[in-house]
Amino acid sequence: MTKGVLESLPVNPFERADYAGLMNFTSHTTISDLSNFEQGLIFLINIIVMKYLGFIGGFGCSLVLLGSLCIYSETSRIWRQFENNERKSPEFVEDYLEVKAKIGTINSLCSILVFSQLLEALIYLVCILGQPRIAAGKVCAAVNLFYSLINIGSFVIAASGHKRAILLEKGLVRESGKCGYAEIESRIRNSAGDNCLLGWSCFSVTYSFLGAVASVGITYALVLLQFMSTPPNQKTQ
């Protein structure tokens, strides 16, 4: 029955010439050496895995983007109040502490997703360089680039919200004067919540962190491109 199902397919993607040799990673086994059953099984597993991983990855990507937009919206709102001289009201510090508490709630829900989405974005960018120069590889590269850009955009939005939160905290301490700055600073530091998006307590999404990640990623990409452009006879020497 399995053989009949495989033979009914219009095109077996593993029989195409441009897929030849793609499985030659750790041995001399290639796609053409496998039986029709093994080829079909690999094909079906890839479809199922990519379908569910794509759904889970898209769901996590959407949640991280939503959380970043919420952080940016709250920090922008409180920052506008600060610029409109509403910072002198007694309730302004409490309003900012509420914003910190909301950011803390977002981190309690999305911190693991932020960590996984950062890894996913880096893996996707690496996979773009390793995709074969065929139609299917170009489609995969386009999808990887799309998800990577969404994740990177989410992190930049969250980092922008963190920058405003830091400026706001410094402004509150400065406006409190010499007598009250210690009390305000202590309340802000000891209050519940966060002023930035967290990645599973491993990192904070700030401009400095994103810059460090970008520098490491660019360095790795350049090394990988140089390795891919090296002729095979020079790699074995």
Q: List, for residues 93-143, the tens digit of each pLDDT value.
A: 899 999 999 999 999 999 999 998 898 888 777 766 655 555 555 676 777
Residue 208 included in any domain? yes
Find the DSSP H helices in the chain: 2-8, 36-83, 92-130, 135-175, 177-190, 207-229, 232-235
Residue 129 included in any domain? yes
Contact yes or no for 165/195 (Cβ under 8 A): yes
Q: What is the pTM of this model?
A: 0.72
Residue 28 included in any domain? no
Contact yes or no for 103/69 (Cβ under 8 A): no
Residue 34 included in any domain? no
Residue 14 included in any domain? no
DSSP-based three-state secondary structure for 145: helix
DSSP-based three-state secondary structure for 27: coil
- Domain count for the chain, please give it: 1
Residue 3 included in any domain? no
Collect all residues with Cβ–Cβ distance below 8 Å to 64 and sequence separation of at least 6.
Answer: 110, 113, 114, 117, 151, 154
Residue 17 included in any domain? no
> What residue numbers bound the domain in which 109 lies?
39-235
According to the model, what pLDDT value does residue 64 have? 94
Question: Nearest 5 degrees, angle CA 196-CA 201-CA 207?
Answer: 40
Residue 26 included in any domain? no
What is the torsion angle, in degrees rounded to the nearest 10, for the CA atoms of residue 93, residue 94, residue 96 and residue 101?
150
Low-confidence ranges of the chain (pLDDT < 70): 1-35, 39, 43, 46-54, 127-138, 140, 177-180, 231-237
